[in-house]
Structure formats: structure tokens, C-alpha cells
Chains A and B, each alone.
With several copies, the nearest count.
Chain A
Amino acid sequence: QDKVTIGVSVPAADHGWTGGVNYFAQQTIDRLSKVYPDATFVFASAADAPKQIADIEDMVSTRNIDALVILPGDPDAMTSAIKQVKDAGKFVTVVDRQLSIDGVEDLYVAGDNPGLGTNTANYFKEAMPDGGNIVVLRGLPIPIDQQRVDAFMAGIEGTNIKVLDDEFANWNRDDGFKVMQDFLTRFPDIKGVWAQDDDTAVGAIEAIKQAGREDEMFIVGGAGMQQMIQRVADGDKLMPVDVSYNPAMISTAIELTTAHAVGGVPVSGRYILESTLITQENASEFLDEESPF
């Protein structure tokens, strides 16, 4: 049995979800290193696309990796760099974000960003059959935010649900708090809040509580942070549901890739990890004591 080296490249922990990705990636690497003594892992997290490209270049030229697992921060910018890794004969697994040309990766472990928007929209339609005013707290101005928002807007089209305004809250608690405070100042009538992300939702909830308007509205986050799933499970009125978008998808990708590289287990194609609606009924399935996210 030959030694294999597997490179894992993820974006830096610049918000809660990517923090989760980093955590799960390292945790999985630690675990698999024990399971497969012949496998060496090279892990890097990058703040931006050039850094991430540099990381995978280094993995190829100095660490002689056999396989690469990559969650590209900015897939369009990274497509040709990933293609070069592929062209160098490495096994490539892409996670979460679709590259701008098809057929580069051997394995695609996908989250479903538009699905997150659509799922959320469906819940809003169901919860607000007569329509009403809502506000949207977006993420960072990057493509996945755009995909989620587009799908959401498409989902509520034709209903009486009215988006009063949207602002970037950068998937961040502090900004969620600020933006929500100001929305509350500005709009006397808000029935629903789409925070898109659970970190943002934490901040928004504090703002709503401070204003004493918990009873007027509900809020939907996203990504499935443990603290939020617990709320859903507890039947919190303010936070009736959550939408999963599990950072642990990176673990799946690393496991599959390692199994292939070490054991020659044939894996290929697409694994779509669906974005599902977490409700009080199914919340227990998503609770995980160990997860820091």
C-alpha cells in the first residue's frame, strides 16, 4: 500500500459557516489520519482567491498531493487553477460551489444554495398565506448570496409577501444586530425576517427583543447552527424553523476522497446534500452535541 497525500483547501473562517467548514475539515483530517496511517493530509485555509490558488499550487509543487478536496471561495476565479491540478493528473473533489466549466472535477459534493433560497421562500409562503411585510438581511456581497437571494425572490414571486428592504449583514452577528435595529426603527409593520444565516439571526433576534417586538414577527436563519436548531426544537415562536446548510459537507467530501485515494474505492459524480427545512418535528435529527457550529 502506497502512501498518499491529500490536499484540503477551504476559505478562511470569515464567518460562522466557513468557521464550521474549517472545524469539520480539521476534525475529519484528524480522525482519518488515525484510520488511514498511510494517508497524509495537507490542510490550508485562504482569505481570498489568489491565496487559495497559491495554496493548491504549493500543494502540487511542494507536497506532491495525489488528491485535492477544495471548497473554492470564489469558484469562477478558481476554475482554471483547479483545472491545472486536474491536468496534472490529480483526483479533484469540489465542494459546495460549482466551477464555471463542467467536467473538471472527479467528484462534486454539493450544497444547494438556490435550494436554500427556495426552501425558505416556500416556508414564507406557507407561514404567510395572506402575505405581509418582510425584511431581508443578506450575507456578503458574493455570488452565493446572490444565488440564494435570487431563488428566494423567485420563490415568493406572485404572492402578497412584500420585501420592504434588503441590506447586507455580512453573515455576521454584529451587523445583523445593527441592520435589524434600523429596520425596526424604520418599519412599524414587519411580519417576517429572512436572515439567511444563523449568525445574522442571532444578532437580529437580540435587536428584536430589545425593541420588544418578539410577538409581531418570526425570523428564519440558515445553515443549521446548533444553538438555533435547539430553539427550533424548543418551539420558539420567534424562530419557528431553520434551513440546513451543513458545513459538515466538507467531511463527506474528505471521507469519500480518502476512501478513493487509499482504498481505491470508486467514487465519482455528484453528491448533492440537500438544504432541508428544519422544523420542530425533525429538529432532533440535526442536533449534534459535538458540533461547535
Chain B
Amino acid sequence: MSVSAPEVPAKPARGMRIDFKTVGPLLALVLLVLLGISLNENFLSYNNITNVLARSSFIGIIAIGATFVITAGGLDLSVGSMAAVVAGVMIIVMNALIPSMGVSVGVVLIGMLAGLAVGGAAGIGNGLMVTRGRIEAFIVTLGTMGIFRSLVTFLADGGTLSLNFNVADLYRPVYYNGILGVPWPIIVFALVAIGGEIVMRRTAFGRYCAAIGSSEQVSRYSSINVDNVRLITYIVQGILVGVAVLLYVPRLGSASSTTGVLWELEAIAAVIIGGTTLKGGYGRIWGTVVGVIILGLIGNILNLQSFISPYLNGAFQGVIIILAVLLQRGRRAA
């Protein structure tokens, strides 16, 4: 007894209808830009746009790392404090090298390497505790958040670590200059974003992150080395924190116990506004970039007007964040 071929169901026309899950964050961004334009004629000026993008780049680069961590079902609350430690160590290293190396590009380069190394090491620490120690990521990174924060305070002796002014002068162009009028932070952010998008979409690593976030067991049974992939997401996060700080130090030239406070929340918010699911399994880098820019614009727009009491800035921010996600509702973590 055999059966004739079952009827083939017609494929639904994909992408014909507006897909709010995809368009949501973009729509929110467009609305914000329109709001900005209506508030101030300088909003779209070259200066304002580069300002906003450049200063969003720290959080942006960190948030791209967070997208990987979250997609793979993890979480990193320590990024803000980690950034402070990285900045602190970079400054200490550079200041310490001046007597022997003088004020030279070499000092800056070594400082930068030190920053990346510290970020990477911190990422390894977080990653090992989560994967080998089998402790919930929330707790591990809440713990290291406290530890890193203390460490900066300790290194700075309760005060501020300041980069030697001459070295700072040498280093400053890394934030303020660029090529063809595009400042370095924007260039680096764009490169990291493009790289992140490629890794997420077009490499096995990106695929594995989604698989692990979706189901650890399925991934394990598909002979994915779950622990290693997870570990790598934390290391990537650490290194990207390092990269972000490379751009941060020339801007502020100092680090203190208040450096990077609440960056973790901002980074996670950007990731989720961008459409990545907090429980893992689905992540998109370009969404995160949109999320970061949305958050950056909110601050900018608040500065463009004077009717909202500054006391209510946080409320405005909160409303926009909720609205941005409301625009993509329908998606919902199961």
C-alpha cells in the first residue's frame, strides 16, 4: 500500500508583509531622527551626527560583544567595571613607561596592547567560571562586577588615575581625528559591527552561539563544544571591552571608580532593543547597532530641547526604550 504524493502546501510569500520584528527597531530609529530634526535644525549637521556616533561607539563595541554572549544564552554584567579596570591599567602602564621610553608612540601602543590583554584576561576569567565552574552567568558577572569596580578604586586609591598630559596629547587623535572626516571611533565601531555581523551570520561560531542559546543539549548532541563556544563569547566580550576602552582613554584621559558605571545595563538594553532575545537562541548584530544609536540619540535629543525638565530625562529614556520594543512586539521569548 502506498500513498500518492501529498499536496504541496504553497509557501507563504515571505517578506511581503511588513515584518515588525525586523523593522521595529529601524522604525523607532526613524521616528527619533524625525523628532530630532523637528526640534533643532542642527540635528542633522555633520558635527552633531559625528558627535553622537563617536560617543556611542564605546557602548556600541561593547554591545556587539554582549550580543554574542546573550545569543549563546549567557550574560555579562561586568563589562562596565571591566572597562574601568582596563582603562586604569592602560593609564598606569603608560604612565609607568614614560621614564624609560619617554613620551612616544611606543608607550601608547604598549598601553593599547595592555588594555586588550586585560580585557581578554577578564573575559577568560568570566568565561571559565561560567563554563568550567558551572556557576550562573548572572552571579559570576555580578561578582566580577564588584571585584573589578573595587580594583579600580584600589588602583586609583579612591581617586582618579590620570594619563600623563603629554602622552594624552599624543593619544588624543585616536578619538578626535579620523579619515575623510570620519572620526576613528566611528570607523572602529563600523568595522567591529561589520565583523560581528559576518561572524554571527556567516561562520560556524555564530551559528553555534544561536544553537547553544536555543538548546544547550541539542548543541551538545550535535558535537558542538558548548563550553568552548561559550568561553569564546566571554573572551570576545572582554577583548571588545578592551577595544572600546582604547577609544575611551584618549577621550577622557582618566579612570576612576565611576568610569563605566551602568554601561552593562546600557549595552544589554541596546542588544535587546535590537531584537536579540534575552534568553538566547537568536541574535542580530545590526539590530544591536540600531539599538545603540537609538540610545545615543535619546540623550542627544534631550539636549536639543528645554521643555522636558532634566529631572524627567530618565522617564523619557524609559518610555522610548519601551516603545522601541513595543514596535516589534509579537516576538516573545517562549
Chain A residues within CB distance 8 Å of chain B: 13-16, 19-20, 22-23, 26, 41-45, 47-51, 53-55, 57-59, 61-64, 73-74, 76-81, 100-101, 138, 140-143, 145-146, 165-168, 172-174, 177-179, 181-183, 185-186, 199, 202-203, 206, 210-211, 227, 292-293
B311 at the interface (CB under 8 A from A): yes
Q: Name the A residues within 8 Å of B311 (CB-CB).
A: 13, 22, 141
Q: Which of B132-181 contact A (CB under 8 A)?
A: 153, 156-160, 162, 165, 168, 172, 176
- Cross-chain contact A141 with B153 (CB below 8 angstroms): yes
- Cross-chain contact B299 with A51 (CB below 8 angstroms): yes
Q: Give the Cβ gap from B128 to chain A, nearest Cβ, in Å.
A: 29
Q: Give the Cβ gap from B95 to chain A, nearest Cβ, in Å.
A: 13
13 contacts between A and B (CB under 8 A): A19-B159, A22-B159, A44-B310, A47-B262, A49-B252, A58-B48, A74-B160, A74-B252, A100-B162, A142-B256, A177-B55, A177-B252, A178-B303
- Tell me, in angstroms, the Cα distance from A202 to B252 when the chains sit together: 8
From B40, B254, B299, B310, contact of A202 by CB (8 A): B254
- Cross-chain contact B303 with A143 (CB below 8 angstroms): no
B225 at the interface (CB under 8 A from A): no
- Cross-chain contact B42 with A16 (CB below 8 angstroms): no
Q: Name the B residues within 8 Å of A168 (CB-CB).
A: 310, 313
- Tell me, in angstroms, the Cα distance from A226 to B158 when the chains sit together: 15
- Tell me, in angstroms, the Cα distance from A61 to B158 when the chains sit together: 27
- Tell me, in angstroms, the Cα distance from A23 to B309 when the chains sit together: 12
Q: Which of B299-316 contact A (CB under 8 A)?
A: 299-300, 302-304, 306, 310-311, 313
- Cross-chain contact B159 with A61 (CB below 8 angstroms): no
- Tell me, in angstroms, the Cα distance from A224 to B310 when the chains sit together: 25
- Tell me, in angstroms, the Cα distance from A47 to B313 when the chains sit together: 11
B22 at the interface (CB under 8 A from A): no
B277 at the interface (CB under 8 A from A): no
Counting residue pairs across A and B whose Cβ atoms lie within 8 Å, the total is 200
- Cross-chain contact A77 with B55 (CB below 8 angstroms): no
From A61, A76, A146, A199, contact of B253 by CB (8 A): A76
- Cross-chain contact A58 with B303 (CB below 8 angstroms): yes
Q: Give the Cβ gap from B296 to chain A, nearest Cβ, in Å.
A: 8
Q: Name the B residues within 8 Å of A202 (CB-CB).
A: 252, 254
Q: Which of B248-268 contact A (CB under 8 A)?
A: 248, 251-254, 256-259, 261-262
User: Contacts A62-B303, A80-B168, A138-B310 known; A206 to B251 CB distance under 8 Å?
Assistant: yes
- Cross-chain contact A292 with B159 (CB below 8 angstroms): yes
Give 7 new A-B contacts, CB below 8 A, not counting A77-B256, A211-B47. Answer: A26-B310, A44-B302, A55-B303, A59-B303, A143-B159, A185-B48, A206-B252
User: Contacts A48-B261, A173-B252 known; A80 to B172 CB distance under 8 Å?
Assistant: yes
B282 at the interface (CB under 8 A from A): no
- Tell me, in angstroms, the Cα distance from A292 to B256 when the chains sit together: 12
- Cross-chain contact B47 with A143 (CB below 8 angstroms): no
User: Contacts A58-B300, A174-B252, A206-B252 known; A15 to B310 CB distance under 8 Å?
Assistant: no
- Tell me, in angstroms, the Cα distance from A244 to B18 when the chains sit together: 59
Chain B interface residue count, CB cutoff 8 Å, equals: 40
- Cross-chain contact B252 with A58 (CB below 8 angstroms): no
- Tell me, in angstroms, the Cα distance from A47 to B262 when the chains sit together: 10
B51 at the interface (CB under 8 A from A): yes
B205 at the interface (CB under 8 A from A): no
**Residue of B55, B158, B299, B304 with most chain A CB atoms under a 10 A cut-off:** B158
B45 at the interface (CB under 8 A from A): yes
Q: Name the A residues within 8 Å of B47 (CB-CB).
A: 61, 185, 211
B43 at the interface (CB under 8 A from A): yes
- Cross-chain contact B45 with A22 (CB below 8 angstroms): no
- Cross-chain contact B153 with A13 (CB below 8 angstroms): yes
- Cross-chain contact A141 with B257 (CB below 8 angstroms): yes
From A13, A42, A166, A167, contact of B257 by CB (8 A): A13
- Tell me, in angstroms, the Cα distance from A47 to B266 when the chains sit together: 13
Nearest to B172 among chain A residues (CB) is A80
- Cross-chain contact B55 with A50 (CB below 8 angstroms): yes
B189 at the interface (CB under 8 A from A): no
- Cross-chain contact A14 with B55 (CB below 8 angstroms): no
User: Contacts A77-B256, A167-B310 known; A186 to B304 CB distance under 8 Å?
Assistant: yes
Nearest to A54 among chain B residues (CB) is B55
- Cross-chain contact B252 with A62 (CB below 8 angstroms): no
- Cross-chain contact A167 with B176 (CB below 8 angstroms): no
Nearest 4 pairs of A and B residues by beta carbon: A182-B303, A22-B158, A58-B303, A77-B252
User: Contacts A13-B153, A62-B304 known; A49 to B258 CB distance under 8 Å?
Assistant: yes
- Cross-chain contact B160 with A143 (CB below 8 angstroms): yes
- Tell me, in angstroms, the Cα distance from A45 to B156 when the chains sit together: 16
User: Contacts A47-B261, A50-B55 known; A19 to B310 CB distance under 8 Å?
Assistant: no
Q: Name the B residues within 8 Å of A179 (CB-CB).
A: 303
Q: Give the Cβ gap from B117 to chain A, nearest Cβ, in Å.
A: 23
Q: Name the A residues within 8 Å of B168 (CB-CB).
A: 80
Q: Give the Cβ gap from A202 to chain B, nearest Cβ, in Å.
A: 6
- Tell me, in angstroms, the Cα distance from A19 to B255 when the chains sit together: 12
- Tell me, in angstroms, the Cα distance from A200 to B248 when the chains sit together: 16
- Cross-chain contact A53 with B55 (CB below 8 angstroms): yes
B234 at the interface (CB under 8 A from A): no
User: Contacts A48-B258, A58-B48, A185-B48 known; A80 to B253 CB distance under 8 Å?
Assistant: yes
Q: Name the B residues within 8 Å of A140 (CB-CB).
A: 257-258
- Tell me, in angstroms, the Cα distance from A53 to B306 when the chains sit together: 18
B68 at the interface (CB under 8 A from A): no
B208 at the interface (CB under 8 A from A): no
- Tell me, in angstroms, the Cα distance from A59 to B248 when the chains sit together: 21
